[in-house]
Amino acid sequence: MSSPDPDASALRWTVPEVVGLTAVAILISLVAGVAFVVPVLALGFDLGTTPVLVGATAAGQVGLLLVAYAFVRRRTLSVRVARPSRREVGEVVGWTLVALVVAVGASALLSAAGLVPESVIQTAAERDPTILLALALLSIVLVAPAEELLFRGAIQGRLRQRYGPKPAIAGASVLFGSVHLTNFTGALPPILATIALLTAVGAVFGVAYERTGNLAVPIAVHATYNLVLLSVSFLSL
C-alpha cells in the first residue's frame, strides 16, 4: 500500500482519471459483449437464451479485466494477489457476512418504501432460472476477479495514492455502484436507491481490501456474496 501523493496537479487530475477509466471500461465491456453477440445472432441463436446472455456477460467482463490490468500496469500500481492466510480467510467470512447483512437489511427497507426497481437479471431468470446458477459460477471465475481488479485494485489503488484510504474506498464504491445502472429498469428513484445499496456493499469490499492489502480477499468476498444471493434467488423461484 502506497502513501498519498500530495502533488497538487496530480490531485486535480486523479478524479477525472478514474472516472474516465470507469467510462472506458464500460465502453470496452459493451463493445466486447456486442462482438460476442453479433456472430452468435448471425448463426441463428436467440438473444434471450441463457447461453447467449451469459456469453455476452462473460465477454464484457473480459473487457473490464483487460482495461483494469492495462491501467494497473501503466500506473505501476502495487496490487498483491496471494493465497489468503488463515487470518485473511477469517476476514473473507466476516466481510461476506457484513455485505450480506447490509444488502438484506437495505433491501428490506427499500421494499418497505416501495423503492424496488425491476431487475434485468430477475426478468431473465423468470424465463430460465438456470441463468442464476450460470451467473453464480461466472461470478466466481470472472465477474468478481474482473470487477475487483478494476474497482479495488486499479481505482481504489489510484485514489489511495492521491487521497489516502478512506476517500479511496468512498470514490471506488461510488463508481462501483454506478456501473450497475444498466442492471435495472423502471422509475429513477428505485434505481438510484438500489445503486446506493450497491455502493454500500462496494464499500464493504473496499474495507476488506484495505484491511488485508490482498486483492484475493475482496475477490473472495464478492464472489461468495454473489453466489449466496444468486443461489437464494434460484431456490425462491
Instruction: Kindly report, residue by residue over 90-128, the tens digit of the pLDDT.
Output: 999 999 999 999 999 999 999 999 999 999 999 999 999
Tell me what pLDDT residue 3 has.
54
- Residue ranges, the chain, pLDDT below 50: none
pLDDT the model gives residue 214: 98
What is the pLDDT at residue 74? 95
Angle at 80 between CA 89 and CA 155, to 5 degrees: 105
pLDDT at 211: 97
Measured distance CA(108)–CA(226) in Å, rounded? 18
Q: Is residue 146 within 8 Å of residue 220, measured between CB atoms?
A: no
What is the per-residue pLDDT for 43?
86
pLDDT at 10: 61
In the chain, where are the structural domains located? 8-236
Return d(Cα 76, Cα 79) in angstroms, integer: 9
Measured distance CA(156)–CA(164) in Å, rounded: 9
